[in-house]
A = this chain, B = another copy of it.
Amino acid sequence: MKPGSVLIVGAGLAGSLLAVYLARAGWRVEVVERRGDPRARRHIAGRSINLAISARGIKALERAGLWQDIAKDAVRMGGRMIHPTAGAPHYHPYSSDPTLAINSVSRSALNLALLDAAAAEPNVTLSFDERCTGVDFSAPAATFVNDATGATRTARADLVVGTDGAYSAVRAAMQRNERFDYSQDFLGHGYKELVIPPVASGPHAPFAMEPNALHIWPRGESMMIALPNPDGSFTCTLFWRHDGEGSSFAAIRTGADALAHFRTAYPDAVPLMPTLAADFDRNPVGTMVTVRCAPWSRGAVTLLGDAAHAIVPFYGQGANASFEDCEALVDALAAKPSIGEALCAYEGARVANANAIADMAKYNFIEMRDLAGRPAWQRRKKVEHLLHRIAPVRFTPLYDLVSFSTVPYTEAKARGAATARAVSRVIGVAVSLAVALVVVAALFATGAVP
Contact = CB atoms under 8 A, between A and B. Distances in A.
Contacts of A147: none
Given A178-B287, A287-B178, A183 B186 contact: no
Contacts of A167: 176
Contact of A181 (B175, B179, B186): B186
Contacts of A178: 186, 287, 289
A182 interface: yes
A152 interface: no
A287 B177 CA distance: 11
Contact of A185 (B175, B181, B185): B181
Contacts of A215: none
A192 to B, nearest CB: 14
Size band of the A side of the interface?
10 to 19
A186 B176 CA distance: 13
Contacts of A432: none
Nearest to A293: B184
A242 interface: yes
Nearest to A179: B186
A291 to B, nearest CB: 10
A286 to B, nearest CB: 9
A242 B179 contact: yes
Contact of A182 (B183, B242, B287): B183
A178 B178 CA distance: 24
Contacts of A186: 178-181
Given A178-B289, A179-B186, A180-B186, 16 more contacts: A167-B176, A175-B184, A178-B186, A178-B287, A179-B242, A179-B287, A180-B184, A181-B184, A181-B185, A181-B186, A182-B182, A182-B183, A182-B184, A183-B183, A183-B184, A183-B185
19 contacts: A167-B176, A175-B184, A178-B186, A178-B287, A178-B289, A179-B186, A179-B242, A179-B287, A180-B184, A180-B186, A181-B184, A181-B185, A181-B186, A182-B182, A182-B183, A182-B184, A183-B183, A183-B184, A183-B185
